[in-house]
Structure 1
Amino acid sequence: MSNLSKKKCTPCKGGVPPLEEKEINQYLSKLNAWQVVGLHHLSKIFSFPDFKSALAFVNQIGEIAEEENHHPIINFTWGKVEISIWTHKINGLHENDFILASKIDTIINQNTQE
């Protein structure tokens, strides 16, 4: 479970039960300030100094989502990006959701180190 950002999302065929609270909490402890909403999805709001920076971040998320074939809900506006992630086929949380969240956190970490 450690270093989720190095893992790859695996195709979910459905029929797999969503993660339970204990498993969710174990994965959540590996992320940076993500919220679990109703044991159903992950959510996080990122702040930026302007629209252009928020858009660049959204585009980076889009690239990762395509690479992983796992696509979050993205809402953004001037200076703010809100991400929601869950596995639609099981209508709940799967390891893939935490992998994607970790990869999104990696984008932020890389951008702040530049």
Structure 2
Amino acid sequence: MALAQENCIDKAPKLDDVAAEMLSTDLQDWIMVNGTLEKTFRFRNFHETMSFANAVAYIAHQQDHHPSIDLTFGRCKLTWNTHSAGGLSRNDFICAARVDQLKA
């Protein structure tokens, strides 16, 4: 099953480095940095940036898994990690894959 078709689970366990690296190959240009999954999206204007951020908020609410969002005019940086697991879980990759579908 494709990551974007999966749903987040409660108390998802932390992935080891090999499992996280393998899942990262299913994503579009996300990078792993110090136990997080990050990607910066660029837009033509503030309206497009906010529309994207709101779509991400919908995904986060639907999956009950929320990213850190750094938003400025024309740019939205998302950072996923699972605080309760102390690093990356499968939930982070599921949400990142769902976000990738927004820009497809």
TM-score w.r.t. the length of structure 2 is 0.96
CA deviations over 1:33-54 (Å, ceiling 9, x no partner):
000002x110000000011100
Residue 29 of structure 2 is aligned with which of 9, 28, 33?
33
Match of 2:18 in 1: 22
Tell me, which stretches of 5 or more residues in structure 1 are unaligned? 110-114
For 2:39 and 2:23, how far apart are their aligned partners in 1? 15
Q: Among all aligned residue pairs of Structure 1 and Structure 2, give the percentage whose two residues are the same amino acid.
A: 30
Structure 2 Cα separation of the partners of residues 69 and 99 of structure 1? 12
Segments ≥4 residues shifted beyond 3 Å: none
Show the 5 A alignment for 1:1-114. 2-12=1-11, 16=13, 18-38=14-34, 40-109=35-104
User: Deviation per CA, 1:72-92, whole angstroms, max 9, x where unpaired?
Assistant: 001111000000000010120
Query: Which structure: larger Rg?
Result: 1
Per-residue CA deviations over 1:7-53 (Å, capped at 9, x if unaligned) read 0001117xx4x211110111000000000002x11000000001110
Matched residues, number: 104
TM-score, structure 1 normalization: 0.88
**Cα RMSD after superposing both structures:** 1.0
SS in 2 for 1:89: helix
> 2:9 is aligned with what amino acid?
T
Q: State the distance in 2 between where 1:25 and 1:5 align.
A: 17
> Whole-Å Cα distance in 2 between the matches of residues 21 and 91 of structure 1?
13
Say which structure, 1 or 2, has more relative contact order (CA 8 Å, 6+ apart): 2
